Amino acid sequence: MSRHFSMLREFHLADWFTLANAICGMGAIFASMHYLQFGQARSLMVGMGLIPLAFIFDALDGRIARWRNSAGTLGRELDSLADVISFGVAPAALAYACGLHGGWDWLVLSYFVGCGVSRLARYNVTAEQLSGDEGKVTHFEGTPIPTSLALVVVLAVAAWQGAIGDAIWFGAVQLGPWKLHPLVLMFALSGSLMISKTLRIPKP
């Protein structure tokens, strides 16, 4: 007979690390909102610090799954959903909190998140095709979404130097009815690299 929370009892150890990844991502989003509400720079830095922690959990869940031979479809789906939060939505929220909130910035950040979602969906449906003779995925098509950690590092350096808000690096330009902060273009580049079909990166 099925019981409440019976699904949680079926989770493997690696799945809990994946959930920790997602929780770190949500923490970063909440920290961004807290900064926008109260203006406390410490909240923003805490949020940025949670993304490297999410990256560590993301790296560990795969290693643990292979070590315990518990990799499966559920784990792969959980991993993708957690990555969307921690390396897609959270970096975009942090960027917005840092001052990238012009109309064109909204579109670029939405494009970035859309690319991340598309990248993960494509990986999930093509994982078997990308597998080698040993049944292991040998390479990524496009950059993995956790590479957005580099974007957060850039934002963290800017925040550390006080270069956020009106003082954001490279300023802002008015293009038609909306503003564009040139710094947001690094998100456009990152998103475009994620959905590339020709860029192949060996999977460790």
Cα gap 11→32, rounded to integer Å: 30
Mean of pLDDT values over 77-84? 91
The predicted-structure confidence for 112-164, as pLDDT tens digits, reads as follows: 999 999 999 888 887 656 555 455 666 678 899 999 999 999 999 999 999 99
Cα gap 84→3, rounded to integer Å: 30
Average pLDDT of the residues of the chain: 87
Helix, strand, coil percentages for the chain (3-state, nearest 5): 70, 5, 25
- Residue written as tokens 């580099």? 150
Cα gap 149→51, rounded to integer Å: 7
Predicted local confidence at residue 11, as pLDDT? 65
Q: How many domains does the chain have?
A: 1
CB 67 within 8 A of CB 7: no
Spell out where the chain has E strands: 139-141, 173-175, 178-180, 200-202
Q: Which domain holds residue 193?
A: 11-202
Distance from CA of residue 20 to its chain's centroid? 14
The predicted-structure confidence for 46-58, as pLDDT tens digits, reads as follows: 999 999 999 999 9
**183 within domain boundaries:** yes
**93 within domain boundaries:** yes
- Answer whether residue 26 shows pLDDT above 80: yes
Q: Any idea what the CATH number is for the domain that residue 82 is in?
A: 1.20.120.1760
**143 within domain boundaries:** yes
**2 within domain boundaries:** no
Q: Could you tell me the pTM of the whole model?
A: 0.88
